[in-house]
Amino acid sequence: MSLAIFDLDHTLIGGDSDHAWGEFLCKKGVVDEHEYRAANDRFYEDYLRGEMDIHEFLNFALNPLAQHTPEQLDAWHAEFMTECIEPIILPKAEALLKQHREQGDFLLIITATNRFVTAPIARRLGVDDMLATDPEQIDGLFTGKVAGTPCFREGKVTRLNAWLEQTGHSLKDSWFYSDSNNDLPLLEAVDNPVATNPDDRLRATAQARGWQILDLMPASDA
């Protein structure tokens, strides 16, 4: 059994679930639309440039979770899945997951986006496990803080190594599919790195190193 690891945003789905959740909160009137959207867009641009301060972003992104009950958040997330996520799940990505599943591989999503946003998406995609940035909870309530190491850049490798020790899996014959140059540390750690719907910097790196480049986007969006 080989380990098939997948980034989520812009890799298995045709968008960014973190940014989309922020937009959803704006449209629902849960947050101040003008101020929150401006900050949400700024952090997203920082991420695309590879300049995002993950701790500053998490202070921003996790705060709304602390302002509402888990029941209300779950109800909103159900709407979010239907309205925002289902339309951007990539058919070619589902086919890729099916291919690895039928080969007997273990399917693992590893994403910087927080677990509240991404766990239902991972369940929808039918993967075996997921590593994500974990929002802190005390007595079942979100605190607005992060628990443990954020699952971002080198943090993905740190979190994966801990998971490997806990589960007994190994990186022998492993795969990692990602769109982002932010994921270079983990791409370098696996046996089969695949630049998937890659950003310009990752595409250049993949071409220079002879890595496989894969396009899962619909033809009209490519």
Would you call 9 a catalytic residue per the annotation? yes
Q: Which of 9, 16, 18, 179 is catalytic?
A: 9
d(CA 81, CA 147) in angstroms, rounded, equals 24
CA 221 to chain centre: 20
DSSP-assigned letter for residue 105 = P
Spatial CA neighbour of 131 closest among 105, 163, 154: 163
Would you call 139 a catalytic residue per the annotation? no
Phi, psi of 176 (to 5 degrees): -140, 125
Spatial CA neighbour of 193 closest among 132, 13, 183, 201: 183
Which residue has tokens 């969006």? Answer: 221
Please say whether the beta carbons of 151 and 133 come within 8 A.
yes
Q: Which of 7, 18, 105, 183 is catalytic?
A: 7
Strands across the sheet with 129-138, in order? 141-147, 129-138, 106-114, 3-6, 175-178, 192-196, 212-214
d(CA 145, CA 190) in angstroms, rounded, equals 30
d(CA 42, CA 32) in angstroms, rounded, equals 15
| Active-site amino acid positions | 7, 9
